[in-house]
Structure 1
Amino acid sequence: MTRRVLVLLCLLALNVVSAIAVVQSTQKTRELFHQLQSARLTRDQLTTEWAQIQLEDSAWASPDRVSQVARNKLGMIQPHDYVVLGNKP
């Protein structure tokens, strides 16, 4: 009978250890899932920011805008406009 009780105690101990391992594994899975969700959120925010930066970059670098800034702020004119006005270098 002692052997039988010993086997049952060992099985009980193994069962308790197994249950604790399941709980720890579940907790770790939840933590990792939370980290994954946070990383996905960060990725989505960075993707949106990158798209906005690309849009802004294309707007700043558009040929019409560059031409307008060159004329208005720098006083530049295209060479054929200079010749048409009757001015010669």
Structure 2
Amino acid sequence: MLRALLVGLIVANIATALAVVQSRHRHRQLFIEATRLEKVRDELNIEFGRLQLEQATWAEANRIDQVARDRLGMKFPEGNEIVVIRP
């Protein structure tokens, strides 16, 4: 009886030790994955900031004015080209 109890305790101890090793290994894997995902998040945040800056640059009024003049041939009307319509 005592011998069976001792064998049972040894088996339980070994099983617990293996469970601890498995748990720590899984924890390390998850930590590595979390670190990798944080790096990806940081890179995406940097890219997003760069794209916001680029969008703001393209949307500036002087940039739009330049494109309208160069590509579309638009210009401000001269004084004699302005027609005022009154109701």
Q: Same fold (TM over 0.5)?
A: yes
TM-score, normalisation: structure 2: 0.88
Q: CA deviation at 1:68?
A: 1.0
2:30 aligns with 32
Give the C-alpha shift of residue 51 in structure 1: 0.3
Letter paired with 2:24: T
TM-score under structure 1 length normalisation: 0.86
Q: Where does structure 2 lack aligned partners over 5 or more consecutive residues?
A: none
Q: 2:16 maps to what in 1?
A: 18
Give the share of equivalent positions with the same residue, in percent.
36
Following TM superposition, by how much is the alpha carbon of 1:87 offset from its aligned partner in structure 2, in angstroms? 4.7
The unaligned stretches of length 5 or more in structure 1 are none
**1:1-89 alignment, distance < 5 Å:** 3-79=1-77, 82-83=78-79, 86-87=80-81
Q: Cα 1:8–1:88, aligned 2, differ >3 Å: closer, same or farther?
A: closer
State the 4+ residue runs in structure 1 displaced beyond 6 angstroms.
Answer: none
Write the deviation string for residues 34-75 of structure 1: whole angstroms up to 9, x where unpaired: 110111011001000000000000001100110011112211
- CA distance in structure 2 between the aligned counterparts of 1:88 and 1:15, rounded to whole angstroms: 94
